[in-house]
Structure 1
Amino acid sequence: MSDVLKIFKIGGGIIDDASQLGLFLTELARVAGPKILVHGGGKGASQMLQDLGIEPNMVQGRRITDAATLDIVTMFYAGKTNKQIVALLQQRGVNALGLSGADGNVIRATKRPVKDIDYGFVGDLNAESVNSELVVQLLRANVTPVFCAITHDGQGQLLNTNADTIASVLACALTSAYRVELHFCFEKDGVLSDISDDQSVIKNIVPKQYQQLKAAGVIAAGMVPKLDNAFAALAAGVDKVVIENALKINEPVKTVLCRS
């Protein structure tokens, strides 16, 4: 348990910009020790859908995934985006291996049940979803797994799954083998006390303080589900969660979420 495993999640803002993505991967290559990268899909999948005459359908930031949409996002996430990232990491001396959840049965999801909204072929995860043994074997072989946002149900069905959730579930599942740090990387330097001031980074947040910041409206909108997931991961045994600028992961400026 002495090794620290760092899991990095990047989203669309970085993936959509080839220059920014290259800079991030250069920084990631500098991170010593075992590491995992989880990536979303960016705007490219929506553009590809539109090019093929399929209108993207998003509800509360989540993609409604019918059969035709699933085909496209699988090609884009698990194919073009994942393999491009892997190739760029290999260029930087990182022995990366691109994975969907179906590869090696590494992440098995269940299709989201229909309630108020039918999300289609969208997968939900739980603590039993991750094949931790395989991931640990890869890490111990000095391989850096690169996960896209596609999983499977074990019955031959691929599923589109939120990348933040994949990162959090991986982090929780691997706490039995490593001290795990979960890093959410995006365009800002951390969680801001003033959304209009990029310098107003909150250095540390504990659960009680988070509830106060939420109640005051300082933390709102899309940051809330991200931080809710982060504190749930801390409660499940993850050592710490970091919110940081994707281009500054080796610099001290960031927000660190702690249990206490």
Structure 2
Amino acid sequence: MAVSQAPIVLKLGGDVVAGPYLGAIATDVVALARSGTPVVLVHGGGPQATALQKQLGQTPNIVGGRRITDQATLDVMKMTLAGKVNVDLCAALVAAGARPVGLHGASSCVIRAVKRPPLVVSGGGPDPIDFGFVGDVTGLHHELLSLLLGAGYVPVLACLGADEAGNVYNINADVVANQSAIALGARSLFLVTDVPAVLRDVADPTSRIPRLSLADGKKAIADGVVTKGMIPKLEESFAAIAAGVRAVHIVGRLQPGDLAREAAEPGSVGTVLVP
């Protein structure tokens, strides 16, 4: 059968996959899929990769919040992202009654990528940094994803890309999720984090900001309301909206029903970012 409506793209960080809320998320993915809403999952695995590197005697090399990926690190990312994290997430979805299909960039080049050129990054000094086997997304395998979604499956994408020559690249999961949402014309993109929403006070969960426009978001950053890791999330999210994604939801610490409720009533659970 054909996909009848635009999908929802759901991005889970590695800490979320390993955390206590995965069961609730999986239950809601099933509910959305059964209601006729196609769902594509994208996941990271940073904490798991760092832990495995340390077990193997490697020292993670992170510059400006970004992991430099040499050959040994790329091997760890393959084992972690396309291995343990993808399997664990698919298993949780199966247990909830979903029909997940685990994929990575080399799965028929479902995430096409090229090597990222050296870049100057904040926190990395004045000179361009060569991040090694780190990629930039150039496209998705639409036919494969449409085939899976149309048959009722849930694609689960590990954040590894690949090119036609078989080179594999490590890619930030937020970037893969944003690019997937843009390429698929998603009705919305959900970024599931370890905080419940964008908060006015990070120590007070009741200070949730239900809705942020582009102008509001820029002001919140300038005023110091939004800090640390939430800043790049907002900046990347507004870039996705500028490229055509209709809404980005930042949610976390979800209970059963929360994800479906936020999809139906934007801003009711987390923070919805709009143009």
Indicate which of 166, 171, 176 corresponds to 2:181: 171
Query: Whole-Å Cα distance in 1 between the matches of residues 22 and 64 of structure 2?
Result: 26
Which of 127, 132, 135 is the aligned partner of 1:123? 135
Partners of 2:240 and 2:85 in 1: how far apart?
Answer: 27
**Alignment counterpart, residue 148 of structure 1, candidates 135, 150, 158:** 158
Q: Residue 114 of structure 2 is aligned with which of 107, 110, 114? A: 110
Question: How much does 1:220 deviate?
Answer: 2.2
Quick check: 1:16–1:42 contact (8 Å CA) kept in 2? no
Cα distance, 1:197 vs structure 2:
1.3
SS of 2:187's partner is strand
Report the TM-score, using the length of structure 1 for normalisation.
0.91
Partners of 2:4 and 2:235 in 1: how far apart?
27
Q: Whole-Å Cα distance in 1 between the matches of residues 25 and 4 of structure 2?
A: 27
Cα contact 1:8–1:183 (8 A) shared by 2: yes
CA contact 2:118–2:130 (8 Å) conserved in 1: yes
Q: Which amino acid aligns with 2:162?
A: H
Which stretch has the larger CA shift, 111-120 or 234-243? Answer: 111-120
Partners of 1:8 and 1:202 in 2: CA distance:
20
Are 2:17 and 2:89, in contact at CA under 8 Å, matched by a contact in 1? no
CA contact (8 A) 1:16 1:43 kept: no
Aligned to 2:260: 250
Q: Is the 8 A contact 2:17 2:88 kept in 1?
A: no
Distance in 2, Cα, partners of 1:112 & 1:5: 28
Which deviations, in whole Å up to 9, do the C-alpha atoms of 1:81-109 show, x marking residues without a partner?
10221122122211110010111221111
C-alpha deviations, 1:104-145, integer Å up to 9, x for none? 22111111112421211001124xx11223212211111110
TM-align CA RMSD: 1.7
Change (3 A) 1:2 1:145: closer
- Give the SS at the match of 1:156: coil
| Aligned pairs (5 A) from 1:35-184 | 35-115=39-119, 116-126=128-138, 129-175=139-185, 179-184=186-191
CA contact (8 A) 2:14 2:85 kept: no
**When the two structures are aligned, how many residues end up with a matched partner?**
253
Percent identical: 40
* Distance in 1 between residues matched to 2:253 and 2:115, nearest whole Å: 31
Alignment partners' CA distance in 1, 2:213 and 2:240 = 13
Aligned counterparts of 1:105 and 1:246: Cα–Cα separation in 2: 33
Confirm or deny that 1:235 pairs with 2:256.
Answer: no
Aligned equivalents of 1:2, 1:153: Cα separation in 2: 30
2:23 aligned residue: 22
**Mapping for residues 177-216 of structure 1, pairs under 5 Å:** 179-216=186-223
CA distance in 1, matches of 2:229, 2:203: 16
Give the TM-score normalised by structure 2.
0.87
- Please, which runs of 5 or more residues in structure 1 have no aligned partner? none
